[in-house]
Amino acid sequence: MILITGVSGLLGANLLFAAEGHGYEVTGVYRQHAMHFPAAETVRADLTRPDAASDLLQSRKPEWVIHCAAATDVDWCEDHPKDALKTNVDATRRLAVAARSIGARFVYISTDAVFDGKGGPYGEGDPSRPVNVYGETKAEGERATRAELPQSLIVRTNIYGWSGQESKPSLAEWVLGQLEMGSRVPGFQDVTFTPILVNDFGDILLELLDRGLEGIYHVAGSEALTKYRFAQRVAARFGYPEDAVLPATLGGSKLRAPRPRSTPLRTDLVRKVLGRDLPDVSMGLMRFKQLRDEGYLDKLKACRGG
Ligand SMILES: NC(=O)c1ccc[n+]([C@@H]2O[C@H](COP(=O)([O-])OP(=O)(O)OC[C@H]3O[C@@H](n4cnc5c(N)ncnc54)[C@H](OP(=O)(O)O)[C@@H]3O)[C@@H](O)[C@H]2O)c1
């Protein structure tokens, strides 16, 4: 059985479906936003409570724990550094300890935001030098994971996809939502990344699990592009004119926390393990659209609330 934390979030919800598709029994953990999946048990737990991790793992005894839950709002983390630390570091450490005590394998999901964005593309061995509290706490979460459970798998990424969360859409969902309302969309020309569709990420992560990997791996898209260009590609895929995306800059934005500017991830290690390339933006966006056309977003939304 796999226990996935953060199943009310973008990654957790999509990973739960992917794991079920791969034949795993799954238990999903959420905190504030209730989730009801047709075939998986879900549990409400606040992982910042000191006993939450051990209670969960002792009662369920999963073989794998995939820890997706995190405080992910970059500006909120900057304004609430102690709370960000409690969620992204302390809760992670307690989950890793609890996983060790029951002999479960542990996966910690991390981010390209552990890098300063001044260089890149970044390899797994490059030093992490985060520029904001979110990145600092995620990097500290990596260190806590490795200290408590050196055989853990740590996967850094940058994802987009269907979350079905109105309050926190993924970048591609937000772009599309704005275009559908007839608004024009600002796209940062000075931020470069290697996004991967969350469903592709989930399938690859499950392959890494099957292979029993440990250590740090980057799982990201094969194409580095600016957020401006990415938003244009989303627009084009859904039949909107590319000039509905307006050039903008991070420097000119009102975002409070500093952001790293260029965080493409090198994926040589994972490509060697898999023996193939990772999907590019065209492939990802094609599947992104196909999923909605097939009713996947409706299926995801139907799991929310209640
Ligand atoms: N989205 C990205 O582009 C991106 C990029 C790189 C890395 N990541 C990493 O990928 C992981 C998943 O990100 P995401 O975008 O799916 O996040 P998300 O949509 O913001 O979801 C966060 C999840 O964490 C849960 N959570 C937060 N605090 C919790 C607590 N104290 N106890 C239990 N659960 C808690 C939330 O539950 P409730 O909502 O129910 O409270 C929610 O399910 C994170 O580790 C993030 O750092 C994401």
What's residue 166's pLDDT? 84
Residues pairing with 185 in the sheet: 245
- State whether the beta carbon of 6 lies less than 6 angstroms from ligand 1: yes
Element of type H or E holding 10: helix 10-21
Give the count of domains, the chain.
Answer: 1
30, 55, 67, 72, best to mutate for ligand 1 pocket (most atoms within 8 Å of CB): 72
Q: What CATH number has the domain bearing residue 156?
A: 3.40.50.720
| Distance in Å, CA 242 to ligand 1 centroid | 30
| Distance in Å, CA 240 to ligand 1 centroid | 30
Distance CA 242, CA 229 (A): 9
Distance CA 107, CA 153 (A): 5
Element of type H or E holding 110: strand 105-111
What's residue 252's pLDDT? 86
Element of type H or E holding 136: helix 133-148
Element of type H or E holding 199: helix 198-210
What's residue 77's pLDDT? 98
- State whether the beta carbon of 96 lies less than 6 angstroms from ligand 1: no
Distance CA 99, CA 72 (A): 23
138 phi-psi bin (left φ>0, alpha ψ -120 to 50, beta other): alpha
Residues pairing with 122 in the sheet: 265
What's residue 254's pLDDT? 85
What's residue 306's pLDDT? 56
pTM attached to this predicted model: 0.98
10-residue stretch averages of pLDDT, the chain, 306 residues long: 98 97 96 95 97 98 98 97 98 98 98 95 97 98 98 98 91 96 96 98 97 96 98 98 96 91 98 97 98 96 85
Structural domain including 65 reads 2-302
In eight-state DSSP terms, residue 128 is: P
What's residue 138's pLDDT? 98
